């Protein structure tokens, strides 16, 4: 699946569940994906700069080396075992996110909003 197909399903058809999708390197810059369900999805190296992922389900989502500069990840519904290894998160919003079991090894957290995150 490419970005165009995903956005078509999300925006026009109202689909929210994209479980176990392999969309490595997808370019979703500035996309409004609030409430999306990427459980077990592979988004290695994806471009999610300025994207809105508020209230998303990112359980077991692989965002290794993804770029999420200035992305909105506030109020994530589920982020258990979220993999953000080497991700670029500078200036992102992670307010109220539960990152207890997330892997943030080598992630850039410069200027990230972590208010009320745990």
Q: What is the pLDDT of residue 45?
A: 99
Q: What are phi and psi for residue 100, nearest 5 degrees?
A: -55, -40
Q: H-helix or E-strand containing 46?
A: none
Domain boundaries 1-118, corresponding CATH code: 2.160.20.80
Question: Residue 77: pLDDT above 90?
Answer: no
3-state per-residue secondary structure call for 99-117 = CCCCECCCCECCCCECCCC
Domains of the chain by residue range = 1-118
Q: How far apart (Å, rounded) are the C-alpha atoms in residues 42 and 83?
A: 10
pTM score of the predicted model: 0.95
Q: Token pair of 13, please?
A: 């058809």
Tell me the per-residue pLDDT of 31-66, one tens digit each, with 9 for 90 and over.
999 999 999 999 999 999 999 999 999 999 999 999
């Amino acid at each position: 699946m490419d970005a165009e197909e995903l956005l078509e399903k999300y925006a026009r058809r109202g689909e929210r569940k994209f479980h176990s999708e392999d969309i490595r390197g997808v370019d979703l810059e500035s996309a409004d994906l609030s409430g999306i369900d990427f459980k077990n999805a592979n988004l290695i190296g994806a471009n999610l700069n300025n994207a809105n992922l508020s209230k998303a389900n990112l359980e077991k989502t692989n965002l290794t080396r993804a770029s999420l500069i200035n992305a909105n990840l506030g109020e994530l519904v589920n982020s258990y075992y979220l993999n953000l290894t080497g991700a670029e998160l500078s200036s992102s919003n992670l307010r109220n996110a539960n990152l207890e079991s997330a892997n943030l090894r080598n992630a850039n957290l410069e200027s990230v909003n972590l208010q009320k995150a745990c």
